[in-house]
A and B are shown apart, each in its own frame.
Chain A
Amino acid sequence: MKLLNPVLWVLKIVTGVGLIVLLGLHFYTLHFHSGLLLFPGSIYYWLFVAFLLVHIVTALKDVLLEAGLKRIIVAPTLIVLAILIISPPILGLNSLTAIQGELEEPEGDSCVKDGDWMRYNHKSLLLDWREEVVRQGERFNTTEGKMEKSLEKECLDCHSYDNFCSECHDYAGVDPDCYSCHIKPESGQGQ
């Protein structure tokens, strides 16, 4: 028991520093479109979940004990919180893996980036494309092979709007605002 507190203190520090690094990578990835995305299922994601769990439990233990709560209340509180944190990732509640097999297979050999990256991060890419095309006049993407930064002229060449884009958006419960400005693709458009 004497050894427990120093061990928990070291764990809190190590996971705290680890979380700073992983969150920094997460922000960097989102902004610069690098490949180190913390998407559900990736090793960075599980590392993040594990660090987060340990850091929150060890830190909250200190907070609750400093607040004068008895150990008999602190322990169950921490267990409930740990279950709350760990359940969504383990149950895959924020994962898009389950819908993958249900969607119409896209044509073409490759996308702008790899499948996992595009699945979770294409919104960021499209928002940046919009900015680059409308405000900076950069219509072509040259970093991932020359392609036009256009949903209709590039994305819908390979993907079916109804059976890929819409179906996944419906499953995920998201409502893209692209068509508050653009004309919505007609049913059956794409591929």
Chain B
Amino acid sequence: MAFVLHRLTGLIMVAFILFHFLFFSTSLELGYSFLPLFGIIASFHGFNGLRLILNELGVGYRYRELGFQVVVALWLATSTVFILLVV
């Protein structure tokens, strides 16, 4: 699940960033209208990416399931902040 979500969020971000760079108008539109959504996607990819780096370096690999739960907790907390920004 973590593997699929990491790949999926990565691909969504590639598409988002391509359009964010494309023209100033699309950059502005995406930047303001989809900032919370992008923040939610990017925070998962970022937290899970950090976990993967640690695991690949041999840190906490034995406790990788707990690591993923920590990632989900951090992601939910960050997502709440992003949602509160637009409410």
* Cβ B50 vs Cβ A17 within 8 A: yes
Interface residue SS majority, chain B: helix
Interface residue SS majority, chain A: helix
Interface residues of B in 27-58 (CB under 8 A from A): 27-28, 31-32, 35, 39, 42, 46, 49-50, 53, 56
Does B21 sit within 8 A of A, measured CB to CB? Answer: yes
* Cβ A20 vs Cβ B49 within 8 A: yes
Q: For residue A127, which residue of chain B has the nearest CB?
A: B32
Residues in B with CB closer than 8 Å to A50 are none
Instruction: Using C-beta atoms within 8 Å of the partner chain, give the interface range for chain A.
Output: 20 to 34
CA–CA, A124 and B22, complex, Å: 20
Residues in B with CB closer than 8 Å to A17 are 50, 53
Residues in A with CB closer than 8 Å to B42 are 23
CA–CA, A66 and B7, complex, Å: 11
| Partner pick for A88 among B22, B31, B32, CB 8 A cutoff | B22
Does B12 sit within 8 A of A, measured CB to CB? Answer: no
| Residues of A participating in the B interface, judged by any CB pair closer than 8 Å | 9, 13, 16-17, 19-20, 23, 27, 30-31, 49, 52, 56, 59-60, 63, 81, 84-85, 88-89, 93-96, 123-124, 172-174
Instruction: Give me 27 A-to-B residue pairs in the complex whose CB atoms sit less than 8 angstroms apart, sorted by A's number.
Output: A13-B53, A16-B49, A19-B46, A20-B50, A27-B35, A52-B17, A56-B14, A60-B14, A63-B10, A85-B18, A85-B21, A88-B23, A89-B21, A93-B21, A93-B22, A93-B23, A93-B24, A94-B20, A94-B21, A94-B23, A94-B27, A95-B24, A96-B24, A172-B24, A172-B28, A174-B25, A174-B28
